[in-house]
């Protein structure tokens, strides 16, 4: 009883150790359990255990508990939102600004300023579908567009026939300067 009264007194005086809720994260379109494990410096298994997940499927808007002892890695180096377009057969086999030959079936893209070789995750914001492409060309030159994707990347984003879609770009690997 004495111990209980002493603990109660500590709590009332504000001296008790604070009980804090574990950190939480709201899943964004394009996130995967694997990318979140890397971002928070933990393992997929730890995320599954902390959130009582049986598989690796997560959904945009879902709130995940982040296992204690982890912290987010540095934020994305570059994030941009805007319209994406694509190019294909007309340019297939031609040289790109980087000097390599354009292959409409490769996962590549054109961006006005990102260094050649930079890998970018492109997420279609209305569907959550995403694809990773490597920057190997300059463009797009049409006003209001931020990236031109290869035909293959556009197929994965289900934008063939639509022409343009609203996307988010996130640099996931900067080009090496060596």
Three-state SS sequence of 47-100: HHHHHCCCCCCCCCCCEEECCCCCCCCCCCCCEEEEEEEEECCCCCCCECCCCC
Alpha-carbon distance of 139 to 3, in angstroms, equals 71
User: Domain 21-73 carries which CATH code?
Assistant: 3.10.350.10
Sign, CA torsion 50/51/53/59: negative
By the 8 A CB rule, do 30 and 128 touch?
A: yes
Using 50, 70 and 90 to split pLDDT, how confident is the model at 178? Answer: very low
Alpha-carbon distance of 162 to 85, in angstroms, equals 9
Alpha-carbon distance of 105 to 95, in angstroms, equals 15
At 91-101, the pLDDT tens digits run 999 999 999 99
- Locate tokens 């914001």: which residue? 125
Question: Could you tell me the two tokens for 153?
Answer: 């990347």
**Is this model's pTM higher than 0.85 or not?**
no
User: What local confidence, expressed as pLDDT, does residue 69 receive?
Assistant: 64
Question: Could you tell me the two tokens for 170?
Answer: 């996130």
Residue 9 has pLDDT above 70, yes or no: no
When mean pLDDT is compared across 8-17, 113-122, 144-153, 166-175, the lowest value belongs to 8-17
Q: Domain locations in the chain?
A: 21-73, 79-173
- C-alpha closest to that of 23 among 44, 51, 4, 1: 51
104 burial type by CB count under 10 A (0-12 exposed, 13-18 middle, 19+ buried): buried
46 burial type by CB count under 10 A (0-12 exposed, 13-18 middle, 19+ buried): middle
| Mean pLDDT value of segment 44-53 | 90
At 104-160, the pLDDT tens digits run 999 999 999 999 999 999 999 999 999 999 999 999 989 989 999 999 999 999 999
23-32, 44-53, 109-118: range with highest mean pLDDT: 109-118
Domain 79-173 in CATH: superfamily?
A: RlpA-like domain (2.40.40.10)
User: What local confidence, expressed as pLDDT, does residue 67 receive?
Assistant: 85
**Do the first three CATH levels of 21-73 and 79-173 match, i.e. the same topology?**
no
Residue 76 has pLDDT above 50, yes or no: no
């Amino acid at each position: 009883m004495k111990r209980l009264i002493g603990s109660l007194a500590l709590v009332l005086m504000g001296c008790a150790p604070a009980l804090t809720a574990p950190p939480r994260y709201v899943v964004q379109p394009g996130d995967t359990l694997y990318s979140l494990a890397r971002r928070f410096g933990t393992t997929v298994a730890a995320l599954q255990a902390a959130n009582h997940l049986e598989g690796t499927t997560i959904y945009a808007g879902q709130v995940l508990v982040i296992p204690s002892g982890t912290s987010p890695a540095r934020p994305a180096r570059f994030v941009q939102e805007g319209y994406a377009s694509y190019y294909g057969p007309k340019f297939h086999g031609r040289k790109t600004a980087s000097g390599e030959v354009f292959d409409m079936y490769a996962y590549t893209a054109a961006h006005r300023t990102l260094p050649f070789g930079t890998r970018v995750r492109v997420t279609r914001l209305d569907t959550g579908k995403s694809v990773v492409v490597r920057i190997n060309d300059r463009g797009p030159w049409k006003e209001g567009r931020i990236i031109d994707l290869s035909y293959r990347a556009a197929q994965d984003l289900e934008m063939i026939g639509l022409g343009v879609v609203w996307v988010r770009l996130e640099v996931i690997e900067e080009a090496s300067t060596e």
